[in-house]
Amino acid sequence: MTEPDVTRTELADADATRRLGRALAGLLRAGDLVVLTGDLGAGKTTFTQGIGAGLGVRGQVASPTFIIARVHPSLTDGPALVHVDAYRLGSLDEVDALDLDASLDESVTVVEWGEGLVESLAEDRLEVSLRRPRGGAGTLGVGGSGPARAASGEDEDASAGTRVVELRGVGPRWAGVELPVVG
């Protein structure tokens, strides 16, 4: 039995989050499912914007709240991006039932807020977990300039945008796939 591939990356700001999404897009193909978990404002939509840019799809990737799912067709001949807000969904079957312009088989499907859904999802999926680091610089300050700088308070705002992301490939589709660690 092999361990799932997991990468863990620190993202300094929203642009870094978009760059990682863009790098991930290079691995994505039709039929893939990406499940994004994280609190409000963790950066799920921001990450999806990077995926959309990397796939080269039409339209502005924005929060899917209130629309459940939005289809972004490819500007080339690649897969469409189906961007789903799973908050009020019971299962992915409900997305297929929406009768979107693109089938999930032909698309890259990105689901925001998928935590409760994971059990009912396909066995192949890429799980992306975004969170704000807790506990201050101690967890992340390895190799930094030490307590003197932290004590000065100058890092307080600089760390406000930091997120930690974990990518975890589940199922045969992702076995042995090397996941990006930086954009």
- Per CB under 6 A, 129 contacts ligand ATP: no
- Per CB under 6 A, 37 contacts ligand ATP: no
Given candidates 22, 44, 72, 125, which one binds Mg ion under the rule CB under 5 A? 44
Q: Check residue 121 and report its DSSP letter.
A: S
Burial (Cβ within 10 Å: 0-12, 13-18, ≥19) of residue 148: exposed
Distance of alpha carbon 123 from alpha carbon 162, whole angstroms: 31
Distance of alpha carbon 128 from alpha carbon 182, whole angstroms: 14
Pairing of strands 107-112, 33-37: parallel
Q: List the one residue out of 172, 173, 163, 125 whose CA is nearest residue 47.
A: 163
Give the phi and the psi of residue 108 in degrees, each rounded to 5.
Answer: -95, 125
- Per CB under 6 A, 53 contacts ligand ATP: no
129 binds, among Mg ion, ligand ATP, none (CB under 5 to 8 A by kind): none
- Per CB under 6 A, 68 contacts ligand ATP: no
| Residue 13 or 124 having the CB closest to ligand ATP | 13
Which residues in 83-112 contact ligand ATP (CB under 6 A)?
112
Number of residues forming the site for ligand ATP (CB under 6 A): 18
Given candidates 56, 133, 161, 183, which one binds ligand ATP under the rule CB under 6 A? 161
The string of DSSP codes covering 142-182 is TTSS-HHHHHHTTHHHHTTT-EEEEEEEESGGGTTPPPPS-
Given candidates 29, 58, 62, 63, which one binds Mg ion under the rule CB under 5 A? 63
- Per CB under 6 A, 74 contacts ligand ATP: no
- Per CB under 6 A, 42 contacts ligand ATP: yes
Query: Using CB under 6 A as the criterion, which residues of the chain lie in contact with ligand ATP when the complex forms?
Result: 11, 13-14, 16-17, 38, 40-46, 63, 112, 161-163
